[in-house]
Amino acid sequence: MFKRILIANRGEIACRIIKTARRMGIETVAVYSEADRDALHVEMADDAVLIGPPAAAESYLLADKIIEACRKTGAEAVHPGYGFLSERESFPRDLAKAGIVFIGPNAGAIAAMGDKIESKKAAAKAKVSTVPGHLGVIEDDKQAVKIADEIGYPVMIKASAGGGGKGMRIAHSKAEVAEGFNLAKAEAKASFGDDRVFIEKFIVDPRHIEIQVLGDKHGNVIYLGERECSIQRRNQKVIEEAPSPLLDEATRRAMGEQAVALAKAVNYDSAGTVEFVAGQDKSFYFLEMNTRLQVEHPVTELITGIDLVEQMIRVAAGEKLALTQKDVTLTGWAVESRVYAEDPFRNFLPSIGRLVKYRPPEESSANGITVRNDTGVQEGGEISIYYDPMIAKLVTHAPSRAAAIEAQGQALDAFYIDGIRHNIPFLSALMHHPRWREGKLSTGFIAEEFPKGFSSRAPEGEAARRLAAIAAAVDHVFGERKRQISGQMIGRPVTRQHRRAVWLDREEIGLDIVRNEEGAIVVRFVGADGKAGNPHTLVSSWVPGQPVWHGTLDGVSLAAQVRPAANGIRIAHQGYEVLANVYTDTEAEAARLMPVGTNADTGKKLLCPMPGLVVSIAVTEGQEVKAGEALAVVEAMKMQNVLRAERDGTVKKIHAAPGATLAVDALILEFA
């Protein structure tokens, strides 16, 4: 077994690998760019080496810098994680020449499967069912349109060396093919240094299901069940689960055996994933093979009890797999949410900055429920513009799918982040979406259920009453604390009114609130007749200063994020984010007389929706534009975002030029 390994990666996956290596008694070496000097993976590793400037192309993507770091620190092997050099065929060859072991598949397997075009050819040769498409390299947008016309719309344009949703576009028309082809090539070049793309038929209403395979250097290959990754946005996975609610045992076995046959055909000898696109009728087609550890590997680990990083390390050291196929059993259900630094209320645009507060839910395993948080950040750390916007992967495991989803929802409600925008409100809302809970999934789920994007929702009914009760309970505790302040003047005893008016934004809910003899807070909602209804009991040990309220409401466990505000709190729970003002009757009377403020109209301006680099400006001053027409392209976190006109108009003045780096809400152009 290795004594010391180097992790050629950063962020949460580097931290994840370090944890397993530490448990195995193996020393670790981290590498870092100048932007990651204070990163968590650098702090966790036994040793760390600076390898270059912030840009990945000048640091994490340079194999010679990695090899030099190995020589400097005495690392015997390299784990590449995912992304960066993990699927570059030349990397294991370069390591081998330097006498360093690659913790991953052999270079031949990467060459056969890592390239999406070549992998489809290999799959077709192995008689694996594949999606109709053109597997050759496409020279220009005219050829792309011709091929798309032959295949039939819609089509998928994909980067050959791609992954993580980069360099991928769905096109429904000739115009979308031409535009998508050029954008996919540009993203592929920027992210992977390889601008080749191919086109295939896009299966309507598909599901994304993948099989985890594991091989050794002695010819043994097994599969570890499946993961469903159908909840995607812009072709990037958002939520994953294992197993899939679609598959039965016969389909699972058929997909698994096909994945193993394909892996054996290319002498696969590590952890890898064979991805399939599946129809609602359980038909399936080979999509691609990822010759590396997957982002979503934790859900497989939790339902199988197998540490995939440990298996990769043991296999790389020459050990035989200790497991056979019949040893693999799937227990319970696991759900993973990807927590990203992006603003769901502004079309998921990237958010960068300092993590002023970072308080994830506590990792635990009790009463059949496991909560796991794989992260690469810590409080006070910086979310950089240079890398992927992932903050953490929150994973829950339970005996059933419903229980795993419930646990995930509560864990998300308890995940507190300040300083940047993040997608936790969206993830939390998804956990309570009826279609998700029923398992009626497709890769179009988010586009279909949120056609206008995700926006702030006004809580109604039970959700509104629940938020009002928590807000009133928090305000009540604040009031009790204030009356305990020492040095107050002696005078007439203060008798506190029981009646409160809770405003959720402008929606008013009346209630009575008291603390009973057992120490619990009791709330009674007031009806239209002014009479208080049935009692609802809240039990919590929350004290002012804690960012998350944990407790029970009528015996049901709840968590809500609470931030102090004037006369109340800003509360986030189950995807709702509202300002809850808690008033006495007298205060409420005055509040009702206050005018409602309105935001200034910015409809005549195009503002930069996130910090980023202006790649191009598509219009000129004086030009007339139609709604939906492209105005500019801004790049952030390796993604190119097309900014379009929201209405017809004439460009009055352009304020930004290509190559400019803009802050969020910076003015790009204005209309007449």
Supply the pLDDT for residue 568. 81
| The domain boundary residue, chosen from 170, 186, 201 | 201
Lowest-confidence segment of 203-217, 355-369, 529-543, 555-569 by average pLDDT: 555-569
Within a domain: 110: no
User: Between 161 and 379, where is the model more confident?
Assistant: 379
Mean pLDDT estimate for the chain: 92
Within a domain: 86: yes
Please state the rounded mean pLDDT for residues 352-375: 95
The percent of residues above 90 in pLDDT, for the chain, comes to 73
Task: Clarify whether residues 376 and 518 are in a common domain.
Answer: no
Are 348 and 338 a contacting pair, CB within 8 Å?
Answer: no
Please state the rounded mean pLDDT for residues 219-238: 95
pLDDT tier, 635 (very low <50, low <70, confident <90, very high otherwise) = confident
Among candidate residues 503, 387, 380, the one with its CA nearest the CA of residue 38: 380
Question: pLDDT tens for residues 54-66?
Answer: 999 999 999 999 9
Which amino acid, residue 145? Answer: V
Are 311 and 271 a contacting pair, CB within 8 Å?
Answer: yes
Helix (H, G, I), strand (E, B) or coil at 575: coil
Supply the pLDDT for residue 254. 95
Supply the pLDDT for residue 601. 58
Among candidate residues 435, 13, 32, the one with its CA nearest the CA of residue 205: 435
Supply the pLDDT for residue 658. 93
Supply the pLDDT for residue 489. 77
Tell the burial category of 450 from Cβ atoms under 10 Å away from its Cβ (0-12, 13-18, 19+): middle
Are 30 and 7 a contacting pair, CB within 8 Å?
Answer: yes
Task: Clarify whether residues 211 and 193 are in a common domain.
Answer: no
Question: pLDDT tens for residues 433-461?
Answer: 999 999 999 999 999 999 988 988 899 99
Please state the rounded mean pLDDT for residues 357-373: 96
Q: How many CB atoms lie within 10 A of CB 37?
A: 12
The percent of residues above 70 in pLDDT, for the chain, comes to 97
Question: pLDDT tens for residues 521-544?
Answer: 999 999 989 899 999 999 999 999
| The domain boundary residue, chosen from 201, 223, 251 | 201
Supply the pLDDT for residue 641. 83
Task: Clarify whether residues 645 and 575 are in a common domain.
Answer: no
Within a domain: 117: no
Q: Which two tokens stand for residue 32?
A: 């870092």
Task: Clarify whether residues 424 and 371 are in a common domain.
Answer: yes
pLDDT tier, 494 (very low <50, low <70, confident <90, very high otherwise) = low
User: The domain containing residue 71 runs over which residues?
Assistant: 4-103
Supply the pLDDT for residue 342. 92
Please give the Cα distance from 401 to 574 (Å, whole number): 18
pLDDT higher than 70, residue 150: yes
pLDDT tier, 232 (very low <50, low <70, confident <90, very high otherwise) = very high
Helix (H, G, I), strand (E, B) or coil at 66: helix
Task: Clarify whether residues 211 and 312 are in a common domain.
Answer: yes
Opening angle at CA 103, ends 97 and 107, nearest 5:
55
pLDDT tier, 552 (very low <50, low <70, confident <90, very high otherwise) = very high
Q: Which two tokens stand for residue 440?
A: 């009626």
pLDDT higher than 70, residue 484: yes
Task: Clarify whether residues 424 and 369 are in a common domain.
Answer: yes
Task: Clarify whether residues 422 and 332 are in a common domain.
Answer: yes
Supply the pLDDT for residue 163. 67
Question: pLDDT tens for residues 253-269?
Answer: 999 999 999 999 999 99
Within a domain: 537: yes
pLDDT higher than 90, residue 125: no
Within a domain: 647: yes
Task: Clarify whether residues 431 and 472 are in a common domain.
Answer: no
Q: How many CB atoms lie within 10 A of CB 139?
A: 8
- Of the candidates 87, 210, 275, 288, the residue annotated as catalytic is 288
| The domain boundary residue, chosen from 559, 591, 623 | 591
Has 310 been annotated as catalytic? no
**Domain total in the chain:** 5
CATH assignment of the domain containing 626: 2.40.50.100
Please state the rounded mean pLDDT for residues 20-49: 97
Supply the pLDDT for residue 646. 82
CATH assignment of the domain containing 222: 3.30.470.20
Within a domain: 368: yes
Task: Clarify whether residues 24 and 168 are in a common domain.
Answer: no
Question: pLDDT tens for residues 182-194?
Answer: 999 888 888 888 8
pLDDT higher than 60, residue 572: yes
Q: 28 Cβ partners below 8 Å, 6+ apart? A: 4, 5, 6, 7, 17, 18, 21, 22, 44, 45, 46, 47
Which amino acid, residue 89? Answer: E
Question: pLDDT tens for residues 650-665?
Answer: 999 999 999 999 888 8
pLDDT higher than 60, residue 418: yes
Q: 66 Cβ partners below 8 Å, 6+ apart? A: 6, 8, 31, 51, 78, 85, 91
Question: pLDDT tens for residues 308-322?
Answer: 999 999 999 999 999
pLDDT higher than 60, residue 600: no
Supply the pLDDT for residue 430. 97
Is the overall model pTM greater than 0.85, yes or no? no
Task: Clarify whether residues 388 and 413 are in a common domain.
Answer: yes
Task: Clarify whether residues 257 and 310 are in a common domain.
Answer: yes
Supply the pLDDT for residue 195. 87
pLDDT higher than 70, residue 495: no
Task: Clarify whether residues 247 and 305 are in a common domain.
Answer: yes
pLDDT tier, 249 (very low <50, low <70, confident <90, very high otherwise) = very high
Within a domain: 99: yes
User: Between 133 and 3, where is the model more confident?
Assistant: 3
Within a domain: 648: yes
CATH assignment of the domain containing 85: 3.40.50.20
